[in-house]
């Protein structure tokens, strides 16, 4: 019976492999460890989508907990989540700011005019509801790149001091809000209220 331990080795290796592969079944390859977490919003200077003479900077997002929503009219999932976001704004008074970027608007060859983009946005918001306090127009998609955005929709929870506290890739629906984004949002709101009280 000296050989018994040797027989166990393949079995052990096999069970390890099974555990490894089984875990792999439930891992999400899209889930990247975001580099934005815990960092301040990168510096930017971008126009308002509807009124291009207004300019926003990273400072514009300070003072209140903000849910920054990266979106575009060409993005189907954004249209799907829009009614839910609108409900969040109306029922829980969540401050949602849009970071809008256009797919067809190639910075090197301006084929699409701003007024056309605005028209598309107005149409879409009229159809699905408007959750946004305002929309920042990321003309050259530079700020999206700085934020580590891979596509749309993506969301950033930004605390009152302008620090990114959560990066959520994908849409926000009731399940995601209840389990992931909502608790963090409430925590940040409490934090900012505590800070305000301390300041007084």
Least distance to another protein, CB of residue 61, Å: 18
Preceding omega of 200 cis (within 30 degrees of 0): no
Under the criterion CB under 8 A, does residue 147 sit at the interface with another protein? yes
152/189 with CB nearer another protein: 152
Which of 32, 54, 76, 194 lies at the binding interface for another protein (CB under 8 A)? 32
**How, if at all, do strands 154-158 and 164-169 pair?**
antiparallel
Under the criterion CB under 8 A, does residue 10 sit at the interface with another protein? no
Least distance to another protein, CB of residue 148, Å: 4
Strands, DSSP E only, in 72-133?
96-100
Under the criterion CB under 8 A, does residue 18 sit at the interface with another protein? no
- Segment contacting another protein by CB under 8 A, of 26-34, 50-58, 80-88, 90-98: 26-34
Long-range contacts of 104-109 (CB under 8 A, 24+ apart): 104/74, 105/139, 107/139, 107/140, 107/141
Q: Tell me the three state secondary structure of residue 134.
A: coil
23/30 with CB nearer another protein: 30
Rg over CA atoms, the chain: 22
Under the criterion CB under 8 A, does residue 69 sit at the interface with another protein? no
Residue 42 per-residue DSSP state: P
Least distance to another protein, CB of residue 70, Å: 11
Under the criterion CB under 8 A, does residue 107 sit at the interface with another protein? yes
Q: Tell me the three state secondary structure of residue 181.
A: helix
Residues that bind another protein (CB under 8 A): 29-30, 32-36, 103, 107-108, 141, 144-151
């Amino acid at each position: 019976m000296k050989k018994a331990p040797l027989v166990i080795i393949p079995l052990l290796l096999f069970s390890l492999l099974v555990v490894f592969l089984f875990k792999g079944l439930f891992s999400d390859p899209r889930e990247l460890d975001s580099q934005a977490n815990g960092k301040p919003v990168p510096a930017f200077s971008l126009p308002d989508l509807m009124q291009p003479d207004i300019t926003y900077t990273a400072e514009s997002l300070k003072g209140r907990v903000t849910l920054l929503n990266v979106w575009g009219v060409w993005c189907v999932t954004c249209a799907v989540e829009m009614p839910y976001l609108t409900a969040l704004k109306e029922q829980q008074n969540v401050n949602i700011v849009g970071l809008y970027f256009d797919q067809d608007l190639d910075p090197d060859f301006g084929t699409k005019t701003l007024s056309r983009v605005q028209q598309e946005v107005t149409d879409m918001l009229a159809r699905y509801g408007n959750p946004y306090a305002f929309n920042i127009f990321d003309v050259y998609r530079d700020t999206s790149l700085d934020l580590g955005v891979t596509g749309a929709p993506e969301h950033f929870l930004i605390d009152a001091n302008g620090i990114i506290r959560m990066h959520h890739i994908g849409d926000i629906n009731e399940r995601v809000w209840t389990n992931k984004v909502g608790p963090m949002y409430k925590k940040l709101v409490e934090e900012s209220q505590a800070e305000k009280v301390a300041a007084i």
